[in-house]
């Protein structure tokens, strides 16, 4: 090629075809291919530039001008298309990878207190209101504290009621009840009067059944002073039963035996299910046993440091597991320590 007319025609064709192809490009990759095909080393425009050497000296500047215009035009079209495509791609990507902040989040599951802890706290609240302090006493005790000072002499048959975990150390055991705490709080407070509840874990070497575990909580209560009578005991426990099981609850005291109380009683409450009419839970009697109690035995008062001629007191001991089981009608004590969330979540 060596004349401007022919060059202009070729430029017209390349400009038209180039523009159409650029318009149609669907991706930055396609744009790049077009750039190579048009402006690359062997591209159509570059090839035309090579024709310039055939032009006369007079026409060559014009030819150069026209070709430069063509190249500039195509370059800016490619660039515009490239930007358009990559911003469209970014847009698509943002949509595809976008997070919908309006979606509700995953709910965080909050735990809650174990049913026994809840029951313990209810018991604490009731007695605190009545002026009782809460005192912690040791789980590892001596035989002397757990039994002898509570008026169980070494071969006393009442020890049979509480099979004991021994330790390798002679005379050191896991407490079988919270009652040894009575001796401790009496000794700490004597000769001042005392009103305290003593919660904590106890252990018995027994068969595990639906009604008894080898490890369980107890709450002991003790009140010692100069004028304390059984009427006080009855009043305190009536109030406790009403607050724990409802205003209409009545209590009944039944004679019983514990070595550390005289007289000893067991306390029943009107059945929380049938309200006393008789049902499956109370086995038709209308009453449910909830705790053991009595007037502190003179020997025990003396072991606590008080003169039994001058002082008297009452004591009681209850199992929060039994109370929770009655309140929520749980039939098997093993569920309480079984850690099955399906069970625990209900409370
Ligand atoms: N310690 C007794 C037991 O574990 C319960 C008990 C009965 C505690 C009478 C007392 C009480 O304080 O007066 O079986």
With the most atoms of ligand 1 within 8 angstroms of its CB, the residue from 198, 316, 320, 322 to mutate is: 316
Mean pLDDT, the chain, rounded, equals: 94
What's the average model confidence in pLDDT over 157-174? Answer: 92
Q: Closest ligand 1 atom to the C-alpha of 221?
A: 12
Same domain, yes or no, for 184 and 280? yes
Helix, strand or coil for residue 52?
Answer: helix
Same domain, yes or no, for 145 and 196? yes
Q: Is the pLDDT of residue 247 over 90?
A: yes
Same domain, yes or no, for 245 and 337? yes
> Given this model, what pLDDT does residue 79 score?
93
List, for residues 29-66, the tens digit of each pLDDT value: 899 999 999 999 999 999 998 998 999 999 999 999 99
CA-proximal residue: ligand 1, atom 12 (nearest): 316
> Given this model, what pLDDT does residue 228 score?
97
Number of domains in the chain: 2
With the most atoms of ligand 1 within 8 angstroms of its CB, the residue from 293, 298, 321 to mutate is: 293
What's the average model confidence in pLDDT over 314-329? Answer: 94
Handedness of CA 302, 304, 307, 308 (dihedral sign): negative
C-alpha span between 17 and 205 (Å, rounded): 98
C-alpha span between 119 and 305 (Å, rounded): 32
Q: Which residues line ligand 1 (CB under 6 A)?
A: 177, 179, 220, 258, 261, 292-294, 315-317
What's the average model confidence in pLDDT over 169-175? Answer: 96
CA-proximal residue: ligand 1, atom 4 (nearest): 177
Give pTM, 2 decimals. Answer: 0.72
What's the average model confidence in pLDDT over 155-169? Answer: 89
List, for residues 56-106, the tens digit of each pLDDT value: 999 999 999 999 999 999 999 999 999 998 898 899 999 999 888 898 989
Same domain, yes or no, for 172 and 91? no
List, for residues 124-157, the tens digit of each pLDDT value: 999 999 999 999 999 999 999 999 999 998 888 8
> Given this model, what pLDDT does residue 272 score?
87
Same domain, yes or no, for 287 and 248? yes
Same domain, yes or no, for 127 and 9? no
Same domain, yes or no, for 34 and 148? no
187 is in which domain, residue-wise? 115-344
Same domain, yes or no, for 64 and 136? no
DSSP annotation string for 109-144: PP----HHHHHHHHHHHHHHHTT-EE----SEEEHH
110 occurs within a structural domain: no
102 occurs within a structural domain: no
List, for residues 261-314, the tens digit of each pLDDT value: 999 999 999 998 888 899 888 889 999 999 999 999 999 999 999 999 999 999
Please say whether the beta carbons of 214 and 204 come within 8 A: yes
What's the average model confidence in pLDDT over 320-337? Answer: 92
> Given this model, what pLDDT does residue 47 score?
92
Same domain, yes or no, for 243 and 282? yes
Q: Is the pLDDT of residue 161 over 90?
A: no
User: Any idea what the CATH number is for the domain that residue 226 is in?
Assistant: 3.30.930.10
Confidence of residue 1 (pLDDT cuts 50, 70, 90): confident
Same domain, yes or no, for 123 and 209? yes
Same domain, yes or no, for 87 and 160? no
> Given this model, what pLDDT does residue 99 score?
86
């Amino acid at each position: 090629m060596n004349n401007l007319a022919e060059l202009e025609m070729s430029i017209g064709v390349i400009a038209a075809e180039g523009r159409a192809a650029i318009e149609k490009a669907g991706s930055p990759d396609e744009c790049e291919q077009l750039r190579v095909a048009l402006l690359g080393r062997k591209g159509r425009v570059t090839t035309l530039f090579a024709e310039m050497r055939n032009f006369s000296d007079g026409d060559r500047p014009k030819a150069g001008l026209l070709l430069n215009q063509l190249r500039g035009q195509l370059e800016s079209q490619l660039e515009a298309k490239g930007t358009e495509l990559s911003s469209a791609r970014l847009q698509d990507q943002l949509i595809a990878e976008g997070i919908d902040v309006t979606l509700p989040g995953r709910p965080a599951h909050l735990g809650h207190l174990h049913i026994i802890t809840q029951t313990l706290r209810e018991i604490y609240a009731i007695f605190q209101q009545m002026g009782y302090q809460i005192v912690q006493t040791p789980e590892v005790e001596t035989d002397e504290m757990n039994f002898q000072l509570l008026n169980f002499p070494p071969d006393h048959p009442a020890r049979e009621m509480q099979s004991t975990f021994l330790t390798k150390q002679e005379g050191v055991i896991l407490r079988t009840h919270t009652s040894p705490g009575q001796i401790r709080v009496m000794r700490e407070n004597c000769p001042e009067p005392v009103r305290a509840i003593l919660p904590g874990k106890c252990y018995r070497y027994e068969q595990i059944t639906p009604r008894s575990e080898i490890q369980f909580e107890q709450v002991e209560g003790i009140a010692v002073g100069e004028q304390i009578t059984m009427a006080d005991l009855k009043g305190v426990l009536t109030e406790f039963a009403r607050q724990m099981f409802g205003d209409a609850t009545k209590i009944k005291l039944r004679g019983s035996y514990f070595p550390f109380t005289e007289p000893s009683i067991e306390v029943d409450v009107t059945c929380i299910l049938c309200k006393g009419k008789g049902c499956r839970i109370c086995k038709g009697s209308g009453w449910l046993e909830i705790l053991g109690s009595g007037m502190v035995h003179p020997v025990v008062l003396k072991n606590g440091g008080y003169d039994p001629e001058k002082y008297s007191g009452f004591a009681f001991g209850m199992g929060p597991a039994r109370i929770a089981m009655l309140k929520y009608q749980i039939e098997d004590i093993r569920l309480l320590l079984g850690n099955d969330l399906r069970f625990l979540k209900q409370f």
